[in-house]
Amino acid sequence: MFIVCMILAAVVPYLLCGINSAIIVTKIKSGQDIRELGSGNAGLTNTLRTQGKAAALFVLIGDILKGVLSIVIVHFLFRFLLGIDTYSHADGWTWINYMAGIFGVIGHVFPVYYGFKGGKGVLVTFAAMLAINWIAGVVPFIIFAIVVAISRYVSLGSITAAACYPFCVLIFSLMQNDSASWINFGLAAVIGVMLIYMHRENIKRLMTHTEKKLGQRSEENEAAK
């Protein structure tokens, strides 16, 4: 049964987080594919730039819900089928939540429903962070907010927060006497590396000063005016 639960801990987050809110909302609103608009990313920022605030709000809600639900469902699967509390720091099973988070990000980035081409996973990762350990999740969000407020680059804030996340997990896991602290750190590092890798094109644009700042609309929207 443990093996079955482990398989479900990978499959459930992958399939659930593979449901892309940006693709669905854009298709309903304009009949277009968000991956062919603006930056080509199927995420919140590109939806905001190409579809407007109302559409972006639905994407925000959808991504947060699936990120949180993917972790909560895995927790209850282990709790009711095996009696394992994946939130118990003393028992050392918290790493299961981080593993589920990895597969959730993979599902969002490489969704089987959309030809394995999805978003960059920032919002769904943040939602999963809060569901796994809200304290370790809030700190990267604060870092993200500060960097974006200063630089006006959402991508730079995302990259910086992703780099800091594993260390936040380690610090708070150690503070909570979690027996799986270093395992959690390693799994969180995988999540952080994935997010940074998905922003490789943004990094190139940041280096060449061609990255769009927060509030800048897409070329399609500018041309439509």
Sign (positive or negative) of CA dihedral 159, 15, 59, 47:
positive
In the chain, the number of structural domains is 1
Structural domain including 100 reads: 2-218
Measured from the Cβ of residue 8, the count of other Cβ atoms closer than 10 Å reads: 16
97 part of a folded domain:
yes
Q: What is the pLDDT of residue 217?
A: 58
Q: What pLDDT digit, counting tens, does each position of 49-96 carry?
A: 899 999 999 999 999 999 999 999 999 999 999 999 999 988 889 999
Structure pTM? Answer: 0.87
99 part of a folded domain:
yes
Quick one: which of 160, 128, 130, 126 has its CA closest to 143? Answer: 160
Contact 25/59 with Cβ under 8 angstroms?
Answer: yes
31 part of a folded domain:
yes
